[in-house]
């Protein structure tokens, strides 16, 4: 379906395509993704833990690619 927006000025009529809204918007300086579906609580609980694990794995590897040694 091709939705159109009709604008009229005097005797002139203009049809413009209606653009969909992007699911990714910036609100108060933070990027927000809107999927239109509710986010399960488990996803909100698991994401910080996954980020911590990825960060810990990255920081435990030295610049040479070898695991860091514990002193």
Res 18: pLDDT:
77
pLDDT of residue 28: 93
Q: What is the pTM of this model?
A: 0.38
- Is 47:39 a contact under the CB 8 Å cutoff? no
Q: 38 is written with which tokens?
A: 């509710």
Distance CA 63, CA 31 (A): 31
Per-10-residue mean pLDDT, the chain, length 71: 81 84 86 85 88 89 60 51
Q: Residue 30's pLDDT is what?
A: 92
């Amino acid at each position: 379906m091709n939705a159109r927006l009709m604008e009229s000025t005097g005797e002139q009529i203009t049809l413009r395509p209606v653009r969909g809204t992007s699911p990714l918007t910036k609100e108060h300086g933070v990027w927000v993704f809107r999927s239109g579906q509710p986010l399960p609580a488990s996803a909100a609980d698991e994401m910080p833990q996954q980020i911590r694990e990825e960060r810990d794995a990255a920081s435990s590897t030295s610049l040479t690619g070898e695991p860091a040694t514990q002193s």
